[in-house]
Amino acid sequence: MTLLAPNRLWLLLAVAGLAVAYVVLQRRRRHYAVRFTNLELLDSVAPKRPGWRRHVVAIAAIVGVAALVVSLARPARDVRVPKGKGTVMLAIDVSASMTATDVAPSRIDAAKTAARQFVNETPAGFQIGLVAFDSSARVLVAPTADHAAVIKQIDGLQPGSGTAAGEAIYAALDSIAATAGSNVVPARQTNAKDLAATIVLLSDGTTTVGRRVEDAAQAAKNVGVPVNTIAFGTDSGTVMVQGQVVPVPADPQTMATVAKISGGSSFTASSGSELRQVYKDIQGRVGYTTQTREIGRTFVAFSMVLLLAAVGASLVWTARFL
């Protein structure tokens, strides 16, 4: 919680003064009672009453006033709210190395599961597109608000050969441009007249064919579209090629370079659960924003409850307003 007008808290000094005054008056009252030596007469003119009730009323009233003062200081807290619109292009590696089983049940199956969850949890106002790449890059779904159509294509992903990550970025950029025209801005910036756009690139290995992935990252930067990269898999991943075991380690260094050049963020994931968490983190960055909202009404309501309770208790216990 933060305070937008903390200088108003000086009014708490007045509340503290009331508390001190109450304590002083109670001590003086006890002092005068001790000086009254005729105890029988004291009992007749001032019958005993539970002292704790009087203190409860006073404490409730003081705390209620303090809560009211805090409300004047404009307390606020940050809340996560979905962005109204934007475009996310998912670029998923479907090369032969994605059949490796170092990630259960396989890299490609884990990638499909995480991508489905990402699409399901992305705000409805966002358009999502899908690019699959192996030796070439193919736009399977142009940016659309029909998230079910994207999930259907994710379910149908099949592995091929080769890894053309650079071509995937270029294909994603072309698809974004076709949707947004010239009004493309980084996903971390929003404007009512523009369409926020970002690319989420998942790859488990080194680019082997097509244009250089670093050049594609620079092209993305030039048009203001960050590429968030995910290096997926472990160093122990292998696949069978013509009866031979071929190691297919992930390439986090290249993915980190792509993200840095384009202005995006880089992630690594070596399991299905880690990948789902990475997608969740990315979703939080591109699909939601943090807004500061005042919560002064909460303190006002709390103050009114305490003050009304104090007044009610005082009327019942002492037949006085306070």
Q: What residue ranges do the domains of the chain occupy?
A: 2-77+293-318, 84-286
pLDDT tier, 189 (very low <50, low <70, confident <90, very high otherwise): very low
d(CA 91, CA 246): 24
Does position 188 have pLDDT exceeding 50, yes or no? no
**What confidence score (pLDDT) does residue 2 get?**
87
More confident residue, 301 or 316: 301
Model pLDDT, residue 198: 92
CATH superfamily of 84-286: von Willebrand factor, type A domain (3.40.50.410)
Q: How many whole angstroms separate alpha carbon 121 and alpha carbon 166?
A: 27
User: Is the C-alpha dihedral spanning 146, 149, 154, 160 positive or negative?
Assistant: negative
Q: What is the pLDDT of residues 10-67, one digit of tens each?
A: 888 888 888 888 888 877 766 555 555 555 554 555 555 546 777 888 888 889 889 9
Q: By the 8 A CB rule, do 242 and 256 touch?
A: no
More confident residue, 42 or 207: 207
The answer to whether residue 186 scores a pLDDT higher than 70 is no
Looking from the CA of 105 toward its CB, the CA atoms found within 13 Å total 3
Averaged pLDDT for residues 265-289: 87
For residue 145, the model assigns a pLDDT of 92
Looking at residue 57, its amino acid is V
pLDDT of residue 194: 42
What is the per-residue pLDDT for 187? 43
- CA distance linking residue 162 with residue 73, whole number of Å: 61
Tell me what the pLDDT averaged over the chain comes to: 85
Is the Cβ–Cβ distance between 86 and 126 less than 8 Å? yes
**Cα 43 to Cα 86: distance, rounded to the nearest angstrom:** 77
- What pLDDT band is residue 182 in, cutting at 50, 70 and 90? very low
Mean predicted confidence (pLDDT) in 181-187: 45
CA separation for the pair 295, 7 (Å, rounded): 17
Token pair 């390439």 is at which residue? Answer: 251
CB 93 within 8 A of CB 213: no
Confidence of residue 289 (pLDDT cuts 50, 70, 90): low
81 pLDDT band, cuts 50/70/90, is low
Total Cβ atoms within 10 A of residue 49: 10
Nearest to 255 by CA among 265, 243, 245: 265
- 174, pLDDT greater than 90: yes
**Most confident listed range (25-34, 56-65, 175-184, 288-297):** 56-65
Instruction: Specify the higher pLDDT residue, 216 or 15.
Output: 216
Q: What is the pLDDT of residue 272?
A: 92
- CB-CB contact of 138 with 157 (8 Å): no
SS3 261: helix
pLDDT at 180: 65
pLDDT in tens, 5-22: 888 888 888 888 888 888
Q: What percent of the chain has pLDDT over 70?
A: 84
Cis peptide preceding 82, ω within 30 of 0: no
